[in-house]
A and B are shown apart, each in its own frame.
Chain A
């Protein structure tokens, strides 16, 4: 069995949003839509203040409430752990948007462009009408993962089949790989660190692990 997961080392992240922008580029998301973004969180009171950066996206839950509620089976959990959306099935009912406890999904009803109403060449080239009016979210860069099956490369090791955000991260905060494989990079990293998954109490079994200290 394979379950692809992501590790995010909060000790490393500087909140630069390189991953945010890389995901936008790799997936041609319209202005205002960020499948991934990095939050800026503060706690405490002056002068005892802590500030941290929290990258968030779809958690590719093992028990995804978005899938459960989806009336069309457009949202499915794949055998390798990816939670995917079939744009051809989705009716854009937004039930999954409400079901997701991680603000991971969005629906865009009209084409949107960076500068007013006309698409730049780069936007026109990549505009996908199938994504209008349907639910969208981080795919774990599904096409790359699928390519791995064809090319024999290993996601998280070979860059060509690793998510764009992971590749882009300038602090090396992000890892990707198969958590079922004890030898994978993510498994080894998780073994030697303390980490948590967000909102685990909701029973979603998210596939993103946040590292916060050595063990």
Chain B
């Protein structure tokens, strides 16, 4: 036992298994064996969660010693691939494995990076919301050295994630992920935002503090999640009707309370509310300089929006003597004596029909409840209040509407994102203390600082980098298999993140069938597919079918932990040193996902607490070997020097730790340089710490002002406005995109084009799922229930499904490995607790034990997480059902951003022989 142990040490490191990290922890190592995960209280003062990690991190010891790990490189011996083909993996040496992979890569380089269709021959899939980048060491530098890579083949991350928020959130306020300013918030309407389950320790403790402080959270969700349980109120809304609910909230604010009760200065100065809109729906612009016009109340005339001294009218309709509009493809029209309504006025008239009474019948939520919630929200906003932060007085608007992933993707998500951002803007809570804040950027640069991404662009807004839709520049022949530049202007083209957030299901779908009027080059298979920490065959839709498509790929190499449902089709498996066995430095604090906004920012080291099991190797070592064997050593080391993998460039003002590009760098050498460069830059030259220092101390931070949490002061500094509530630019992008597609004789994206509206309209969102199944020949009445999914605190997607202790502790909570069903509904179907049930959609069935609950709508079933594993050791014995096995992948269910939702119509019945 421990008393007789020769050595006991505690190794500081991080967990970033899910996107809510990084969180800090210590690993207790006894005689060289990792035995325990503990909080790292040395970080208590800098880490919002006080140096604590969540339950998932406590599985990392088992993860390390799991006997089912792949511990040597393996190659496939069965040339046939498929779910029913045993891959016949046999152990091989690292030399052989690396040579096989490098050989395939070199062959690609010899032929050219792009194939005959103009698509990259190499595809790479990285999963779980981008977390792999916190474990893959210098692999990004290898990819940079390589050149064009296709990130098209999506796993659940991206299009099933908070996709619309990623795109529109970043568009409106640089909020790739968006959160309530919980430390200051008083009223939070959480629409499917399952933050007490998914937000990680930082969010959990913040919301707990807020509860004790007496804030109110209203959870709007079809079933009672742990988050709903911990909320003051639960509103069991009908699935997929959230836009109607949110529109009605806006209605109550705008129509029933009126502008006088809203944050007029914010609307006037920080949003495009005063911009005058012509009867044709476009901004009225100054004929000379093309700037949008506002109605100046002091001079009673239309003036450009940035006219000094002007006092723009927020509401109303005004006659403008002379103005122009600029339509799609820069078509200019002139107007004389035209009526311009302010954008706010357009909103007010638009929202008039969306009354709470109207919403009641759609959402199954009482009108009086909707009205009360809207009024509580407005009252809690405390318009006029201020707060002092670091010597600066800012508005205090402690209200926020937050959206979860299932209302944030697919049809209706644009409407939801728009409505919640408008709700923030109406009360001045957008990017102000207490309100709604973006917490990170990914599609804009600089990636580590949202404020640096705020640069003046057109029309008084922040600059945006849309994929072009003009005749000259539109990408008629896609450069990626998911067509992200061709189809989705707003996703941009800013590197791997933009690509991976394209319509990744199209890449899968179009490998099989393409629309009849497809006129672009036929998509090809990638010659080499590399997969890391992602399991699309479990996490995507129609997963059984997806696995069949993946089986057709000619060559696949996976950096692997265990065999799983995706790497089952691999040709080579490369065993990786995992969380406790490998080294990397990443940034922490500053801007990160979810509620990871800190009072500090800095760097943290993941370090080798114990020796890797078997032949597993550090990813950085694997990468360097691949770089060497493909002849890319020099550009690879150059990329490292530029800071592609590390946290900052290795050479900068007053320091130079750059590595010799001619020598193969040992991983320790790389991270030592990164440690030094990071500390020198963070401390602005005051301190330099090496790898040894970090091995002992774990992390390094510098204080960060809370002012950095809020974008509005920066917007104010630049004199910029949020592009709200009216969406002229989106309207135009859609128009242009439509023209391009139609010019190419393609109409298959027409339905999606309908989403490009200046002010979103309610349409029958749930009906899309019903029409989809009817289109495939099924009868709607045979599938009377909604099936949803919800995340589990104990699992990071399917990533730790192989860990026994997670299964054990998860069983303490209802519904794990089961099907959550309303108790009354179950009784009416003769289903009892624990009965084995079949949940069937029009494309298949999945099976699990019934978990009866009162806290779920009678018309809704819920399956937690993403399981139904058939290859992953241990996980496959769980016999857990999954929505993904029976939810279709379909163009009909893909929205204009290219995402879809985790929802499907189903039937449920008791299996005869109950287990």
Which of chain A's residues have a CB closer than 8 A to the CB of B854? 42, 44-46, 49
Q: Is A128 an interface residue (CB 8 A)?
A: yes
Closest to A173 in B: B208
A39 to B814, CA, bound (A): 9
Q: Is B433 an interface residue (CB 8 A)?
A: no
A76 to B812, CA, bound (A): 30
Which of chain B's residues have a CB closer than 8 A to the CB of A106? none
User: A114-B804, A171-B205 are known contacts. Are A49 and B55 too (CB-CB below 8 A)?
Assistant: no
A126 to B197, CA, bound (A): 31
Interface string of A112-133 (1 = CB under 8 A from B): 0011101011110110100000
B812 & A20 in contact (Cβ 8 Å cutoff): yes
Which listed residue, B34, B226, B809, touches A24 by the CB 8 Å rule?
Answer: B809
Which of chain A's residues have a CB closer than 8 A to the CB of B55? 16-18, 20-21
A128 & B1 in contact (Cβ 8 Å cutoff): yes
A122 & B62 in contact (Cβ 8 Å cutoff): yes
Q: Is B855 an interface residue (CB 8 A)?
A: yes
A169 to B41, CA, bound (A): 12
Interface string of A67-92 (1 = CB under 8 A from B): 00000000000000000000000000
Report how many residues on chain A are interfacial, defined by Cβ distance under 8 Å: 53
B1 & A14 in contact (Cβ 8 Å cutoff): no
User: A46-B824, A122-B62, A122-B65 are known contacts. Are A39 and B812 too (CB-CB below 8 A)?
Assistant: yes
Interface string of A38-77 (1 = CB under 8 A from B): 1110101111011111000000000000000000000000
A134 to B55, CA, bound (A): 28
Q: Is B52 an interface residue (CB 8 A)?
A: yes
A31 to B811, CA, bound (A): 12
Q: Is A15 an interface residue (CB 8 A)?
A: yes
Q: Is B66 an interface residue (CB 8 A)?
A: yes
Report how many residues on chain B are interfacial, defined by Cβ distance under 8 Å: 65
A167 & B38 in contact (Cβ 8 Å cutoff): yes
Q: Is B299 an interface residue (CB 8 A)?
A: no
Which of chain B's residues have a CB closer than 8 A to the CB of A173? 208
Q: Is B452 an interface residue (CB 8 A)?
A: no
Which stretch, B227-235, B463-471, B525-533, touches the partner chain A?
A: B227-235
A154 to B495, CA, bound (A): 53
B66 & A115 in contact (Cβ 8 Å cutoff): yes
Which listed residue, B67, B209, B230, touches A118 by the CB 8 Å rule?
Answer: B67
Q: Is B810 an interface residue (CB 8 A)?
A: yes
B230 & A40 in contact (Cβ 8 Å cutoff): no
Interface residues of B in 843-857 (CB under 8 A from A): 853-857
A121 & B855 in contact (Cβ 8 Å cutoff): no
A125 & B30 in contact (Cβ 8 Å cutoff): yes
* Distance to closest chain A CB from B874 (angstroms): 7
**A contact face: mostly helix, strand, loop, or mixed:** mixed
Which listed residue, A21, A53, A123, A167, touches B229 by the CB 8 Å rule?
Answer: A53
Closest to B804 in A: A114
Q: Is B339 an interface residue (CB 8 A)?
A: no
Closest to A12 in B: B208
Which listed residue, A11, A37, A114, A159, touches B208 by the CB 8 Å rule?
Answer: A11
Closest to A160 in B: B41
* Distance to closest chain B CB from A126 (angstroms): 6
User: A114-B804, A125-B30, A125-B35 are known contacts. Are A17 and B62 too (CB-CB below 8 A)?
Assistant: no
Which listed residue, A16, A47, A50, A120, touches B62 by the CB 8 Å rule?
Answer: A120
* Distance to closest chain B CB from A124 (angstroms): 8
User: A122-B64, A126-B1, A173-B208 are known contacts. Are A50 and B229 too (CB-CB below 8 A)?
Assistant: yes
* Distance to closest chain B CB from A193 (angstroms): 9
Q: Is B37 an interface residue (CB 8 A)?
A: yes
Interface residues of B in 1-41 (CB under 8 A from A): 1-2, 30-31, 33-39, 41
Which of chain A's residues have a CB closer than 8 A to the CB of B33? 121-122, 125
User: A46-B858, A120-B67, A171-B204 are known contacts. Are A21 and B809 too (CB-CB below 8 A)?
Assistant: yes
User: A18-B54, A22-B58, A53-B226 are known contacts. Are A46 and B857 too (CB-CB below 8 A)?
Assistant: yes
A170 & B205 in contact (Cβ 8 Å cutoff): yes
A46 & B822 in contact (Cβ 8 Å cutoff): yes
A12 to B213, CA, bound (A): 11
Q: Is B284 an interface residue (CB 8 A)?
A: no
A114 to B66, CA, bound (A): 9
Which of chain B's residues have a CB closer than 8 A to the CB of A169? 52
Q: Is B808 an interface residue (CB 8 A)?
A: yes
User: A121-B65, A167-B39, A171-B204 are known contacts. Are A24 and B1 too (CB-CB below 8 A)?
Assistant: no
Q: Is B793 an interface residue (CB 8 A)?
A: yes
Interface residues of B in 199-236 (CB under 8 A from A): 201, 204-205, 208-209, 211-212, 224, 226-230, 234, 236
Closest to A39 in B: B812
A42 & B855 in contact (Cβ 8 Å cutoff): yes
B39 & A20 in contact (Cβ 8 Å cutoff): no
A102 to B30, CA, bound (A): 34
A32 to B811, CA, bound (A): 10
Q: List 16 A-B contacts (CB under 8 A).
A: A9-B208, A12-B208, A12-B212, A15-B812, A16-B197, A21-B55, A25-B35, A28-B35, A31-B805, A34-B812, A37-B809, A40-B812, A122-B33, A128-B1, A168-B58, A170-B201
Q: Give 5 A-B pairs besides A11-B212, A40-B814 with Cβ atoms closer than 8 angstroms.
A: A9-B212, A45-B854, A46-B855, A122-B34, A172-B205
